[in-house]
Amino acid sequence: MSTAEDFKAAGNAALQAGKISDAIQNYTKAINLDGANHVYYSNRSAAYLKKGDGHNALEDANACIALNPQFAKGYSRKGAALHALKRYNDSIAAYNEGLEKFPDDAGLKKGLEDVTREKDQPFMAGGGGGGDPMGGGLAGLFSPQMVAQMAMDPKTRPYLQDPDIMAKIKMVQQNPSMVQTILTDPKMMQMLGAMMGQDDDDDAAPAPAPSPAKKPKEEKEPEPMEVEEDWSNLSPEEREKKETEKKARLKKEEGNNLYKDKKFDEALAAYDEAIAIDPTNMTFLSNKAAVYFTQKKYDECIEQCMKAIEVGKEFKASFDERAKALTRCAKAYQKKGDLGKAIELCEASQLESYSKDTQRLLKSLELEKKKKDAMDYQDAEKAEEAKQRGNEFFRQKDFAKAVAEYEEAVKRSPKDAAIRNNLAAALTKIMDFNGAKTQVEKALELDPKYVKAWTRKGDIEFAFKEYHKAMDSYKQGLELDPDNVACKQGLQKTQQQITYGRANMTEEQKKEQAAHAMADPEIQSILSDPVVQQVLRDFGENPNAAQQAMRDQGMRAKINKLIAAGIIETR
């Protein structure tokens, strides 16, 4: 195998055969060859999900959507992965996002129905009826497999580092009937909430607030309560520092409220006051960066992010805060189109403090850059130069070099059907018929009226002994150009092979040809047709009825296709 499509096909076959690891390996090879094809990520996501690896399934689903947001199955993959991770709310959101774009998609509807039903159903005993209705279901959440998944999730991992929580988990694992005792423990209930997909909000920067829900008239807003702080034991210097921090914090909160009201200039002024009061706090600079990002002033956003990071390093801000500033800076570079710098900053952010969201952004940026690099590489003039070099090597019968030049030409001009047809011709010379078939099919996808490609396709199918397909390809070429000599000769040699060629085949060769044809979905469809099955029986049991059926043009075409494929042998 030499092309991404070959590896994808191998992955599909392995997945259908239940060889999940082999499928993942083949899809990965396809992605390594063509990382801009969203289908490969979708397929690998399905394989990971079948393996029980929800985290990698989710990453590939996100990559699929990033490459092609108009691919409905990408949202199904994401919803299914989140469902498997028991992040029910996130899963429902993913399905709903897909349904907004594809409201009639059956897969999305079914996935949403399944996850909603599982989320809403009460926990039931896992080992038979008659027990505590809350017992078995919750106990099942603490199986060794689920605990392992929790350990890989940054949101639930910290809970497993608490000895009290681990003691309770082991108690429930040993005796599921004790599960009710955990329902009174606030820590355990908080952890269960995290497991069920209740994500914490990112408060690294202010964000516009949602419209507040209207409250009943009789319900009064609670009065804000000022918490008094006891600074009596602090030294004058410490008390002054606390006062300064408090003043700066109040200014920041004022800025946040102005930002929520979309009063951006006033918000910036408030943050500047906070910075003037306490220049050691990077958060105020990060908040300014967030305002600039919202205003699409990306250069100003980048400038404030970098200042925030400098302040954060100087005054020992948390790694998490510094990482968030780097990620915001990366997003600003992404908006400016500098994907290389955006990737660099995401990687720096991950070194400061790992985040799944930043990792998803990083993967998306890498895919976006790969796609952009491929687009930037295109050049019709250089493609023609490479094609001519390939033609010269082909004439010299140096087919390996011809393939290399034609492949370069394809990269330079991927939508040029003639270049792909030339590549297919060169690939047949080095006996890579699968690669040649892929290229000629792509050429016809680009230009269905390209007669030379139909001829080439017929030649390749003839080499595969797929005579029923070769006959169709030559006929298709003749429909476009009735006087085409190559198609006429190809059709003639194919008909001769069908009529006389099998006489020279061994029984083993005949079986091999029939088995190969049986893998063709079109042949499978014909053989599964009850009317065709009856006609085949009539050839042996009721020849007159069979002859009557053969007067129908459609039935005659189907039977002739079975004969050409070697499924039916005439005497």
The verdict on residue 427 lying in a domain is no
CB 72 within 8 A of CB 105: yes
Q: Which residue has the tokens 């049986």?
A: 518
Q: Does some domain include residue 337?
A: yes
**Same structural domain for residues 103 and 147?**
no
If asked whether residues 267 and 350 sit together in one domain, one would say yes
Q: Out of 54-58, 121-125, 232-236, 337-341, which region has the weakest mean confidence (pLDDT)?
A: 121-125
Domain membership of residue 528 (yes or no) is yes
- Say how far apart CA 42 and CA 5 lie, in whole Å: 14
Is residue 180 predicted with pLDDT exceeding 70?
A: no
Shared domain for 275 and 362, answered yes or no, is: yes
Q: What is the CATH number of the domain that holds 534?
A: 1.10.260.100
**Which segments of 106-264 are extended strands (E)?**
none
Q: What is the count of structural domains for the chain?
A: 4
Q: d(Cα 286, Cα 291) in Å, to the nearest integer?
A: 9
Q: 311-325, 388-402, 448-462, 506-520: which range is least confident on average?
A: 506-520
CA atoms within 13 A on the CB side of 195: 18
Question: pLDDT digit string (tens) for 253-292?
Answer: 999 999 999 999 999 999 999 999 999 999 999 999 999 9
User: In this structure, what token pair is assigned to residue 444?
Assistant: 């016809």
pLDDT at 179: 63
Residue 566 contacts by C-beta under 8 Å, 6 or more apart in sequence?
A: 465, 467, 502, 510, 513, 514, 517
Q: What is the CATH number of the domain that holds 247?
A: 1.25.40.10
Name the pLDDT band for 184 (thresholds 50, 70, 90): low
Of residues 17, 3, 84, the one with CA closest to residue 45: 84
* Residue 247 shares a structural domain with residue 354: yes
**Span between the terminal Cα atoms of the chain, in Å:** 38
Residue 27 CA: distances (Å) to CA of 9, 21, 248, 260: 9, 10, 53, 45
Cα separation, 291 vs 220, whole angstroms: 32
| Domain-embedded: residue 339 | yes
DSSP code of residue 19: -
Residue, of 395 and 553, whose pLDDT is higher = 395
Domain shared by 115 and 51, yes or no? yes
Same domain, 112 and 147: no
Q: Whole-angstrom Cα distance, residue 308 to residue 326?
A: 9
Whether 30 is covered by a domain: the verdict is yes
**pLDDT at position 222 over 50:** no
Torsion angle (degrees, nearest 10) of CA 214, 219, 220, 222: -90
- What proportion of the chain, given as a percentage, has pLDDT over 70? 82
Residues 174 and 60 grouped into a single domain: no
pLDDT band at 206 (very low <50, low <70, confident <90, very high): very low
* Per-residue model confidence (pLDDT) at position 216: 40
28 with 103, same domain: the answer is yes
The pLDDT value given to residue 129: 38
On whether both 67 and 163 belong to a single domain, the answer is no
What phi, psi does 13 have (nearest 5°)? -65, -40
- The predicted-structure confidence for 431-452, as pLDDT tens digits, reads as follows 898 899 999 999 999 999 999 9
In this structure, the answer to whether residues 366 and 281 fall within a common structural domain is yes
Torsion angles phi and psi, residue 534, rounded to 5: -65, -40
Flag whether 38 is in a domain: yes
Domain boundary residue, one of 310, 342, 377: 377
pLDDT at 202 over 50: no
State the residue range of the domain holding 270.
243-377
